[in-house]
């Protein structure tokens, strides 16, 4: 395992107009850490990974692996991928179709002239670790998607690299297999303790795998922290929307009352004055047909649009004027159906409020409570 230090990394692509894919990025990845770069397409996460791998040449910055520089724009140092002691697992597996599994796994050892690894049985050792020993004499075309991904993992790890790079490696698997391989990858990291940088746009993958998450936006890091920190305290509306707070409500305060575009808020809400955006997860929103609210709850009138059975929960889409919000209910009201008028209720302590520019609203105890419209009798 190796410490990875990224200092001032910048990557520009020429075009009309030119694009800054990575913008003065600085990041310290500790030895044995599993760091996840999370964000939508175009945020710079894959370009960052490719710069680490040496597949892209950055315009500025310094990359240091285990105390040794592999890239330095000031001295024009730029080691090729085969000299960076990295392993990489791609979205497409990228296995050689004409080679057996054994030869695919052994390829990095031969390419790097690690003959002692071949003679010491590293191929068999890593195949056993990822549970594909019985596949060694098969060809990739004879394997399932999950088996091919295990072989790709083995190939990435066999040379015992300083750094493992993962470029959305689970995105081509179906939902059940994706969860299985994700758990296997987490177990493998716990056992081998390799340093890893993992790229994904899937927040559930990021939360499950990462020791820390770096939420990226326009080539920069919007928030960096542990999964629990980011999940519990998203620092911007951008982060909140990306880690599961998908419900978005615009609120305006007028004469001590908070209003949605469709009508007044019911209950009491503490927050900033004027205009805010409230973000809320679907499983933190409840639906009531009797209009009741708890002592510390806030609510609003809505109409049921869709009711979908989800096994152990029911997914409900609600209309608030022209806007839509979603609720995931474990105990839905009996007989709930499209067209029903309901009260949507939530605990404001589980929501997050942001200014119009996306910055987090300070909702400390020194701010006055704002009273919303009373519950209609």
DSSP result, 161-210: -SEEEEESTTTTS-HHHHHHHHHHHHHHHHHH---EEEEES-HHHHHHH-
DSSP run (H or E) holding 241: helix 237-242
Helices (H) and strands (E) in the chain, counts: 9, 23
User: 45 falls in which pLDDT band (50, 70, 90)?
Assistant: very high
Of 275 and 369, the one with more pLDDT: 275
pLDDT at 365: 36
The DSSP symbol for 10 reads E
What pLDDT, in 10s, does the model give residues 291-333?
888 888 999 999 999 999 999 999 999 999 899 999 999 999 9
Is the per-residue pLDDT at 128 higher than 50?
yes
Residues facing 28 on adjacent strands: 5
Task: Indicate whether 134 pLDDT > 60.
Answer: yes
Note the pLDDT of residue 161. Answer: 87
Q: What is the pLDDT of residue 368?
A: 35
């Amino acid at each position: 395992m190796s410490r990875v230090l990224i200092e001032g990394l910048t990557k520009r692509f020429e075009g009309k107009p030119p694009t800054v894919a990575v913008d003065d990025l600085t990041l310290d990845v500790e030895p044995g850490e599993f760091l996840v770069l999370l964000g939508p397409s175009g945020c710079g996460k894959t370009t960052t990974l490719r710069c680490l791998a040496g597949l892209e040449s950055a315009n500025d910055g310094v990359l240091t692996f285990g105390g040794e520089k592999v890239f330095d724009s000031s001295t024009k140092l730029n080691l090729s991928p085969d000299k960076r002691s990295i392993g990489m697992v791609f979205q497409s597996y990228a296995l050689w179709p004409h080679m057996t599994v054994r030869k695919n796994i052994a390829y990095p050892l031969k390419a790097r002239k690690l003959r002692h690894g071949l003679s010491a049985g590293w191929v068999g050792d890593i195949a056993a670790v990822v549970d594909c020993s019985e596949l060694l004499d098969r060809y990739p075309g004879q394997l399932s998607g999950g088996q091919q991904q295990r072989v790709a993992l083995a190939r990435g790890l066999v040379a015992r690299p300083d750094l493992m790079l993962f470029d959305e490696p689970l995105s081509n698997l179906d939902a059940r297999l994706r969860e299985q391989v994700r758990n296997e990858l987490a177990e493998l990291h716990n056992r081998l303790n390799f340093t890893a940088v993992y790229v994904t746009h899937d927040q559930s993958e990021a939360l499950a795998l990462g020791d820390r998450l770096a939420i990226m936006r326009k080539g920069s890091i919007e928030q960096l922290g542990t999964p629990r920190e980011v999940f519990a305290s998203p620092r911007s509306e951008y982060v909140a929307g990306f880690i599961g707070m998908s419900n978005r409500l615009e609120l305006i305060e007028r004469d001590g009352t908070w209003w949605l575009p469709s009508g007044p808020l019911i209950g009491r809400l503490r927050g900033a004055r004027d205009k805010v955006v409230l973000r809320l997860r679907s499983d933190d929103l409840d639906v009531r047909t009797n209009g009741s609210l708890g002592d510390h709850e806030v609510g609003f009138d809505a109409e049921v649009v869709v009711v979908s059975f989800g096994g152990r929960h029911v997914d409900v889409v609600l209309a608030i004027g022209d806007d839509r919000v979603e609720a995931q209910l474990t105990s839905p009201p009996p007989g709930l159906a499209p067209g029903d008028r309901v009260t949507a209720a939530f605990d404001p302590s589980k929501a997050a409020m942001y200014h119009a520019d996306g910055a987090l609203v300070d909702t400390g105890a020194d701010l006055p409570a704002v009273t919303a419209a009373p519950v209609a009798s």
